[in-house]
Chains A and B, each alone.
Chain A
């Protein structure tokens, strides 16, 4: 079986500074993987590479069996992304925003409308479709971005610190929702965060620190007999 996301030997430098050093991990379909790392660990660089914003100095990314370098169109069509920064047009309605995105994936007409309805229902936002994004609160905007990322039916969902700036209740509801997407719909999820409490024991966990992988496996097994928080601080030198 091809894995959902296969990252092989990614190395990337900014001038002399090595941002990512031989990063490799493979995620099966339906797996929720938390990419945990303190600020500056290289998470955003990795996301930029996974979304082909730029090409790494070395290594390869396979998305649902397609190489991002050799078949960028096919690979990108299989990816849904939620960026750390909100990327919505505030003065357009929810539906207009989603239509624009659908068109960027070559979807239009009834097919696009149907997908928009379905994805909004999934995040319980069907009744907000005609509202301007400016009128939505942070939590709803994030939900909408998740709905948007799923419009074109991707196999892999990438989320770059999606809960930044949200209150505890919204955070937990969004984390729960995305966990369900992985377990119920077979989506491969890569969830970047620096917050340990968003990681569940059953999740797959990749710990990134200073551009290197420090742990890669089941979260509960990595934590062992101490809490994940303690283990994480040990690995990253207590945040120093």
Chain B
């Protein structure tokens, strides 16, 4: 038990050190959603009318609408970036070092997941603080209430990254992750438009959005910002987390894993 905790602290600490040393990564993680918030949302405000829908009780500006989606975006990028770092770790051999630890492998992978979630939450709060400075703020209780939502969403996206890292064999393939995972997940979700707006364009697109676990992660954050729980979204995110995690544990199983294939 004690050994497991020591291991967790060390892995989180190492990931945090690595994150701090990569200032560019932090800067990109914060600037990206801010550009969306300040430039994209400003342009869209005029074009897009939003009706009153839960959890909102009054008309809101588009900037307010996309903040939860941008929080999700930060976590999406962060989760994928940590999967990139896992592929890098594997190419550089430090993954081997990790996997030869006598601590059970599922716990080691969970520690990695926990570390990447913690880092993504730190980024989200930094973004929210800057957004608040530009006048796009929420209630203090809302900021607190999104913490559990961010944890669940971060774990779900981190597990997806872990699953991808067990199947991606080389760093070059990461561009594919960008095209085939990050972009579709983000654009085909409720991050930028509500479901009914999507339905106006196409019912198929609407159905894809409703199926996308990232949509549910975003809705979970959106409701939490107003002190509410979207139970359906929570269930959906937990289900996706369970599926992604089992997939990655399967991928890292020594008896049939990717490491079995000769590198």
The total of Cβ contacts below 8 Å across the A-B interface reads 87
**Shortest Cβ distance from residue A135 to the other chain B in the assembled complex, whole angstroms:** 16
Query: Does A72 belong to the interface (CB within 8 Å)?
Result: yes
Q: Are B9 and A103 within 8 A (Cβ)?
A: yes
Contact with B along A48-65 (1 / 0, CB 8 A): 100111110000000000
Q: Determine the chain B residues whose CB is within 8 A of the CB of A96 once the complex forms.
A: 17
Q: Are B94 and A89 within 8 A (Cβ)?
A: yes
Query: Does B96 belong to the interface (CB within 8 Å)?
Result: yes
Which listed segment binds A: B44-52, B133-141, B251-259? B251-259
Cα-based distance from A75 to B96 in the complex (angstroms): 16
Query: Does A99 belong to the interface (CB within 8 Å)?
Result: yes
Chain B interface size band reads 20 to 34
Q: Are B100 and A51 within 8 A (Cβ)?
A: yes
Which listed segment binds B: A76-84, A166-174, A216-224, A225-233? A76-84
Q: Determine the chain B residues whose CB is within 8 A of the CB of A180 once the complex forms.
A: none
Q: Determine the chain B residues whose CB is within 8 A of the CB of A100 once the complex forms.
A: 10, 13-14
How many chain A residues have a CB neighbour from B under 8 Å?
Answer: 35
Q: Are A104 and B17 within 8 A (Cβ)?
A: no
Query: Does B2 belong to the interface (CB within 8 Å)?
Result: yes
Q: Are A53 and B100 within 8 A (Cβ)?
A: yes
Query: Does B262 belong to the interface (CB within 8 Å)?
Result: yes
Query: Does B24 belong to the interface (CB within 8 Å)?
Result: no
Cα-based distance from A159 to B102 in the complex (angstroms): 18
Query: Does A70 belong to the interface (CB within 8 Å)?
Result: no
Residue of B nearest to A109 (CB): B6
Q: Are A52 and B261 within 8 A (Cβ)?
A: no
Hey, which bits of chain B sit against chain A, CB under 8 A? 2-4, 6-7, 9-11, 13-14, 17, 21, 92-94, 96-104, 108, 254-255, 257, 259-262
